Structure 1
Amino acid sequence: MDLMHIYRHPMRLYILAFNILAMIGSVGLTAVGIIGLTSNTRLLLDSSILSWTSIALSLFIFLVSLLGCAAALANSKSVLSSYGVMISLLILLQLSVIIFALSRHDKVDGILDNAWQRVYDNNPRILQDIETRLACCGYSSVGDRAVPKTSKYACRESPAFGYTVSCQRQIKGAYLDHEDLLLSVVTSIQFLQILALVAAVALWSQLPRSNEIEDRYRVEHSQRLLRGMREDQAQRGYRDTGGQGEEQERYGATEWSNR
């Protein structure tokens, strides 16, 4: 397809623009996943799974968006159909991620409590690092599973720590901020993808079918053959007419000389 002809089809421009924006959004989604993996709570929360999911999802979005750009430039119903199927699956996948994140929203306290307990039992040095970075002691209170484990209030009484606030509020805030950012980016990308899908369906309905394209090429080829045959006949007729005229002139000149 000639790229200059794309301006004659607004739906192609819409599909191309929406997919370029979705590609930019996928880069933002990757950044959100990286932020989740490098945040203060990455070793504590199960949100690391959500972060890796967002990174994998961003790669899928980028590849499908590339296919969408190809579908916008190609004059093929099959490419548009493939793009429509992939973007529909991607929209459903993103919707499941949104539902999964929202279903955990009311269970944040339990998720964080269980995560804190698991790390407290298996690797308390991680909690010590979190307490240092967040300037807090324990989870729900300064004596709730705080590190060091020498005594219940060792964290608050230790000269190396001595913090008087618990870590629950800060950790929960970091978790919810990361979750809200992820949902915002995914929802924005999904909105663009729905618009691109609608434009793709509209463009698909406007494009001719493969048999119609073949018929059109066959008709054009036949018309060109007929045009060429008519031109050949016209040239032959012109030659014949010119040759007869020359013979008549020579015949007349001969008779005149005999006289």
Structure 2
Amino acid sequence: MYVILRPSRSYGPIQNAIAVLNLLSLLVGMILLCVGTFVYFAPGAVFVTSTLLPHLILVLGATISLVSFLGYYGAMNEKRWILWIHVLTLLIAIALQITVGAIAFVYRDHGNEVLDNAWERVYKTDPRVIQDLESFFQCCGFEHVFDRPVPVTCAIDHHFMVGCRESIQTAFQDSLQAIGVIGAILGGIELVSLLGATVLFHRFDKQKYRRECEAGEADLVQAFLEAQHIDRQIEEARRQRERQLGYESLADQVRAKSLARAHEEGLFGPRDPPAYGTF
């Protein structure tokens, strides 16, 4: 008797770990979307917008959210093609992170120049943004209260006696540091997730091969059992035929003895044999 037992999945812990990592990555992606939206619409967004950082943060957050969902769904449902998309999108997300990190690193020491150029550009195109900045940071002008304030009487009207450069630069550097920390954490999660996805690919292949072997073994056992059943039927038919032939032979012997006895007793003539089954 054959008993086929399907072995338990050996990649269960890895599968669960990848699912948890992708959920954490999805949370980080949602946080990046919120941060990117806030930075884009915040009063100081114009200075960051000039370096395309909020756009990259939004794209990165959306990409991370998508790749995390694909990784979670593909890992829990064993979908190889979804895991392939997960890996490719993960590589794109890592490339975007490297781009954002490179931009943040480049502008780390050029923040004053970037902010000054942004202030000059907005001062000429949309002075209301500068008014929002001055109101938000409680300052007037850029370097000092007479450096391109909006309006010119800002210091007199609002009694702000300091320029906005230091406040804006501090906020800008804090944003870059926050992006760097989030990027480092997210990069570690993504690398572990990428490694886990690679391991899952290998385990899925082994599991697929094992299932195919089990299916082939099950088919072989089923064919063997069917062959045994057919052999039993043939053997039973042969035995029934032998019993039938034995009964017929016994009946012929009994008939022959009965006829011989009847002739001995003179019950029938030599030319009048009785009908079959009579005595």
Secondary structure (helix, strand or coil) at the match of 1:144 reads coil
How many residues were matched structurally?
249
Give the match for residue 229 of structure 1: 227
Partner letter of residue 134 of structure 2? E
State the alpha-carbon separation in 2 of the partners of residues 46 and 66 from structure 1. Answer: 28
Structure 1 length-normalised TM: 0.80
Question: Deviation at 1:104?
Answer: 1.1
Is 2:126 the partner of 1:127? no
Question: Deviation at 1:24?
Answer: 1.3
1:64–1:87 contact (8 Å) kept in structure 2: yes
C-alpha RMSD of matched pairs (Å)? 3.2
Is 2:121 the partner of 1:118? yes
1:138–1:167 contact (8 Å) kept in structure 2: yes
State the alpha-carbon separation in 1 of the partners of residues 236 and 82 from structure 2. Answer: 51
Structure 2 length-normalised TM: 0.75
Give the match for residue 159 of structure 2: 162
Question: Deviation at 1:252?
Answer: 6.4
State the alpha-carbon separation in 2 of the partners of residues 204 and 239 from structure 1. Answer: 53
Give the match for residue 195 of structure 2: 198
CA gap of 1:79–1:148, structure 2 versus 1, over 3 A, is: closer
Question: Deviation at 1:121?
Answer: 2.0
**Larger Cα Rg: Structure 1 or Structure 2?**
2
2:56–2:96 contact (8 Å) kept in structure 1: no
1:44–1:115 contact (8 Å) kept in structure 2: yes
Question: Deviation at 1:210?
Answer: 10
State the alpha-carbon separation in 2 of the partners of residues 114 and 137 from structure 1. Answer: 17
Deviations 1:69-126 (A, max 9, x none): 2331344655544433332232222122212212111111111111111112222232
Deviating beyond 6 angstroms after TM superposition, the runs of 4 or more aligned structure 1 residues are 249-259
Secondary structure (helix, strand or coil) at the match of 2:143 reads coil
Is 2:181 the partner of 1:178? no
Match of 2:21 among 18, 32, 40: 18
Moved more, 179-188 or 5-14: 5-14
Give the match for residue 141 of structure 2: 138
Is 2:94 the partner of 1:96? no
1:19–1:196 contact (8 Å) kept in structure 2: yes
Is 2:50 the partner of 1:51? no
CA gap of 1:219–1:171, structure 2 versus 1, over 3 A, is: same
Structure 2 portions without partners, runs of 5+: 1-7, 259-279
Q: For CA contacts below 8 A with separation 6 or more, give which structure has more relative contact order.
A: 1
Deviations 1:118-173 (A, max 9, x none): 11222223212321232211111112112223xxxx322x2x21211111111112
Is 2:50 the partner of 1:73? no
State the alpha-carbon separation in 2 of the partners of residues 118 and 204 from structure 1. Answer: 51
CA gap of 1:232–1:33, structure 2 versus 1, over 3 A, is: same
Secondary structure (helix, strand or coil) at the match of 1:207 reads helix
1:42–1:48 contact (8 Å) kept in structure 2: no
CA gap of 1:75–1:248, structure 2 versus 1, over 3 A, is: farther
Question: Deviation at 1:50?
Answer: 1.2
Secondary structure (helix, strand or coil) at the match of 2:188 reads helix
Identity %: 22
Structure 1 portions without partners, runs of 5+: none
